[in-house]
Structure 1
Amino acid sequence: MSVSAVVGVDSSTQSCKVEFRELDGGRLLARASAAHPPTEPPVSEQDPESWWQAFVRAFRRARAEAGAVRVEAISIAGQCHGFVPLDAAGRVIRPAKLWNDTTAAPELSALVDEIGARRFVETTGSIPTAAFTIAKVAWLRAHEPQHFARLRTILLPHDYLGYRLTGRYATDRSDASGTGYFDPSRNAYRPEHLARIDDRADWESMLPEVLPPDSSAGTVRAAAAEALGIGTDTVVGAGGGDQHASALGLGIEAGELVFSFGTSGVVVTTTPEPVRDLSGAVSGTADLTGGFLPLVCTLNAAKVTDTFARLLGVDHTDLSRLALDADDDGPVLAAFLDGERTPDRPHASGLLADLTPSATREQLARAAVEGVVFGLVGGATAISRLGCDTDGAVFAIGGGARSEATVRLLAEALGRPVELARTAEPVARGAAVQAAAVRLGAEVARIGEAWRPAVDRSVSPRPGRAAARRYARYREVAAVTDLDAAAPRESRDDATLLPR
């Protein structure tokens, strides 16, 4: 007898992860993954076909492991901001530019100067950086006009996989709110921002329909069903952004913070009301339940610890051990190795300060981990500064959270315990939550609460550490104090040219 199952998908920068879970209760049945092609900023691109092939491989592996199951619903969470350009026939025009591609920084800067940072915040909840989709659309027009002339549909990475499943151009409000041309507070596109790129293009016809979090994008079409080995009656959820799905997978509540240590670093909380940060540090994105997800993203996370592990000739376990053995003195790292998104410095590089002849390997390892951690602690401070409640539980997730040093140094920087949830893949779990809600006709938030994972363990600060002093020095070295009182750039045009 087969078990009714739902499938949650995490299509990230590095790989596609697939989880099969029981429709009734969310018990994990199987998990598998398949790699995506590696990328290297500043030019970070992938062929969307590679995402589809990785999804099919991971799906079939997990289905074989799950045994006798009937797949009732699928939902896909994906890396945010990426730009998938399609032509009139629905074919990919060129490789997708990803969130960590910084080549569109000049085009983005010109757009922000023209529209005005304040107006972007008022109309989209965020000041876009080079990561945002609107920057990449502007880049395409400026650098590849022959491809721009063929552009008929703009999709995000998770939209593209949904399109391959259903044949429908659809997205959701969480992922759409990272484009630079969607207002999550009104659940409406702002095509006038795209019109600043080209005022003759029919932008509204190019944008996918924005679906609410508990709605279906359709059922699986025949070609996709055959590739996956499932029925054409399988329901497909609206999907969402990866960090938004992880918050849902953890079942976080207002006041709780999630620090994600992956390819990028992210800190988020959830709130029922929209937030608007005129400094640009906090993105006022939508979540996957109908509310909002104040979010700060840094470009440099895994790359930093990978680099210092290589330089020190150790693996990540030894890097963690070295970092925890360090005393309270030694260098401080501004970890902007690949440029940075928050603060918005796409052309920056890393800076190791206070290096002396007495520096130790332990101190260097600790500086690397702190460089990642401190950047996100500043993000949490920026979220709190907007009036959001951040006094609840703190969670650490992602590959970097497997490092004891990362979690321990985070606890010390915050001065409070950090929880590790009993889930290896919160993004795929969150996507499965949405799939179950859509199949059952239930509220996504209710299923997320019911499926909230238990806490595996809590990591507390070590007494007597000088985390506050080191964090203060980091802020001096990284010159991030301007984020506390940054003034937005004003539009060159009168404000009435862009209606609210």
Structure 2
Amino acid sequence: MTIPVVAGVDSSTQACKVELRAREDGRLIASGSAPHPATRPPVSEQDPHDWWRALVTAFAGALAAAPAVRVDAIGIAGQCHGFVPLDASGAVIRAAKLWNDTTAAPDLAALIADIGADRFVETTRSLPTAAFTIAKVAQFRAREPEAFSRMRTMLLPHDYLGFRLTGAYRTDRSDASGTGYFDPVANRYRLDHLERIDPGTDWAAMLPEVLPPEGITGSVSAAAAAELGIRPGIPVSAGAGDQHASALGLGITEGESIFSFGTSGVVVTTTERPLHDPTGTVSGTGNLTGGFLPLVCTLNAAKVTDTFTSLLGTDRETFSALALAAGSGGPVLAAFLDGERTPDRPGSSGLLADLTTATTREHLARAAVEGVVFGLLAGAEGIARLGFPLDGRVYAIGGGSRSAATPQLLADAIGRPVHLVDVAEPVARGAAVQAAAVAQGVTVRELGALWRPEGSRCLDPRAGTGAAERYARYHEVAAVTALDRRA
């Protein structure tokens, strides 16, 4: 018997993952994955053609694991903020600049000085950092003028895959709201910000149409269908930014929060109310149900623990055990190893404080994990200060959450239980929810609630770890990095 399914795609910095889920009830039928080229910040670039090749490979793997399926819709979630410039023929002009490329910091600083930080926050609900697309556009105009003159379309990573599937230039509200030139409250582009970069460019003609949550990018072309091994003509939903899809995939509600430990670190919640953070700490992006997703993102997450695992000459499992066995003393790490996005310190570096002759390998391992955790905890406090109380369930997701140490040290730091859900790929799951909503003709909000995953494992905070004292000390140590000694 053929099973009707939808495909949810997570095109992240590290890999492309495809989940095939039953169209009617969301059961996971099969999955596949393929890696993306490694990046090396502060210069972080990938060839968009590699994303397409990875999608084809991951799709083939999923179909091979479940040959008796019929794909009825596709949803694509992708890494946010990336910049994909295309020429008049739709060809890629240069490698895509990714979110964790911080080389555009000087170009962005000049743009913010011109427009004004307050004006940016007022019109886009976020204060851009070097991660945002607008920084990369300004850099492209200033440093590659000949290539810039050939640009006729500029897309985000998930838009590009939608274009390869359908031939259409379209995006969605969630991903557009992370560009620095889209207002998620008015739901319109801020062409005036782009005109400060180049007043002579027809920016409106270059930008993809922004679709609502139930929007359809287009239908899969015959050529794309042949490469993927599916039938042509099936709908491709509007798509999403990766963290926005993750929130949908987990079905979080107001007051609940997600701490995501992946290539980047992210803490988010969801709300119906727009936000305004004059400090620029919290981004007020759009979510996938028409509301908003208060979000704080840090650049330094998995690579911090990977670096310290290597420095200690151990493996990940042993490293986690060391961190959990550290006791109550020890040093504190401001984990800004390759610069940082939140706080906005692209020229900073990591700072390890309070080393003594009593410092142990266990202390160093815990400092690395807590450096990531504390950075996100500071972000969560920033969200709460804006009047969005995070008093509901706390979830830990991402590759880092599979380490025993990370979610436990998060629970210790916040003094509350942390939930781990049995959802291996929440981003791909959220993309599948959106695709299924399109296929069924229902709202994304409705289906997200119906497909909310059930059951979770809970980690309670441990007593006597000294986490509160180290977190207070973390703020002092992190403040020193404001000097940006590498700038």
TM-score, length-normalised on structure 1?
A: 0.95
Q: Which amino acid aligns with 2:222?
A: A
How is 1:39-78 mapped onto 2 (pairs within 5 angstroms)? 39-78=39-78
TM-superposed deviation, 1:232: 1.3
Matched with 1:388 is 388
Q: Is the 8 A contact 2:165 2:221 kept in 1?
A: yes
Please give the secondary structure, in 2, of the residue aligned with 1:4.
strand
Please give the secondary structure, in 1, of the residue aligned with 2:71.
strand
Residue 222 (structure 2) pairs with residue 222 (structure 1): yes
TM-superposed deviation, 1:464: 2.1
TM-superposed deviation, 1:327: 1.8
Q: Is the 8 A contact 2:349 2:481 kept in 1?
A: no
Provide the C-alpha distance between the structure 2 equivalents of 1:473 and 1:258, rounded to a whole number of angstroms.
Answer: 24
Provide the C-alpha distance between the structure 2 equivalents of 1:390 and 1:130, rounded to a whole number of angstroms.
Answer: 28
Q: Which amino acid aligns with 1:170?
A: R
How is 1:102-141 mapped onto 2 (pairs within 5 angstroms)? 102-141=102-141
Please give the secondary structure, in 1, of the residue aligned with 2:193.
helix
How is 1:278-427 mapped onto 2 (pairs within 5 angstroms)? 278-427=278-427
Provide the C-alpha distance between the structure 2 equivalents of 1:8 and 1:62, rounded to a whole number of angstroms.
Answer: 11
Matched with 1:498 is none
Q: Is the 8 A contact 1:419 1:455 kept in 2?
A: no
Matched with 2:241 is 241
Q: Which amino acid aligns with 1:130?
A: A
Q: Which amino acid aligns with 2:51?
A: W
Please give the secondary structure, in 1, of the residue aligned with 2:29.
strand
Q: Is the 8 A contact 1:475 1:481 kept in 2?
A: no
TM-superposed deviation, 1:99: 0.1
Residues 270-318 of structure 1: per-residue CA shift (max 9 Å, x gap): 0001111110110000001111000000000001000000000111111
Unaligned runs of 5+ in 1: 483-500
Please give the secondary structure, in 2, of the residue aligned with 1:233.
coil
Q: Which amino acid aligns with 1:275?
A: L
Provide the C-alpha distance between the structure 2 equivalents of 1:63 and 1:212, rounded to a whole number of angstroms.
Answer: 29
Matched with 1:182 is 182
Q: Is the 8 A contact 1:343 1:480 kept in 2?
A: no
Provide the C-alpha distance between the structure 1 equivalents of 2:156 and 2:25, rounded to a whole number of angstroms.
Answer: 30
Residues 112-141 of structure 1: per-residue CA shift (max 9 Å, x gap): 111011100110000000000000000011
Residues 318-352 of structure 1: per-residue CA shift (max 9 Å, x gap): 11100110021111100000100000001111000
- The 10-residue stretch of structure 1 (244-253 or 449-458) with the greater mean CA deviation from structure 2: 449-458
Provide the C-alpha distance between the structure 1 equivalents of 2:364 and 2:3, rounded to a whole number of angstroms.
Answer: 51
Matched with 2:485 is none
TM-score, length-normalised on structure 2?
A: 0.98
Q: Is the 8 A contact 2:419 2:456 kept in 1?
A: yes
Q: Which amino acid aligns with 1:280?
A: G
Provide the C-alpha distance between the structure 1 equivalents of 2:357 and 2:66, rounded to a whole number of angstroms.
Answer: 56
TM-superposed deviation, 1:463: 1.5
Matched with 1:444 is 444
Aligned length: 482
Q: Is the 8 A contact 2:351 2:481 kept in 1?
A: no
Provide the C-alpha distance between the structure 2 equivalents of 1:348 and 1:480, rounded to a whole number of angstroms.
Answer: 10
Matched with 2:202 is 202
Q: Is the 8 A contact 2:328 2:464 kept in 1?
A: no
Residues 443-474 of structure 1: per-residue CA shift (max 9 Å, x gap): 10111111111233000101222111110000
Provide the C-alpha distance between the structure 2 equivalents of 1:223 and 1:78, rounded to a whole number of angstroms.
Answer: 22
Residue 475 (structure 2) pairs with residue 475 (structure 1): yes
TM-superposed deviation, 1:481: 11
Q: Is the 8 A contact 2:333 2:352 kept in 1?
A: yes
* Identical pairs, percent: 69
Q: Which amino acid aligns with 1:451?
A: W
Provide the C-alpha distance between the structure 1 equivalents of 2:30 and 2:386, rounded to a whole number of angstroms.
Answer: 41
TM-superposed deviation, 1:256: 0.2
Residue 10 (structure 2) pairs with residue 10 (structure 1): yes
Superposition misfits of 4+ residues, deviation over 6 angstroms: none
Provide the C-alpha distance between the structure 1 equivalents of 2:34 and 2:435, rounded to a whole number of angstroms.
Answer: 21
Residue 435 (structure 2) pairs with residue 431 (structure 1): no
Please give the secondary structure, in 2, of the residue aligned with 1:273.
coil
Please give the secondary structure, in 2, of the residue aligned with 1:479.
helix
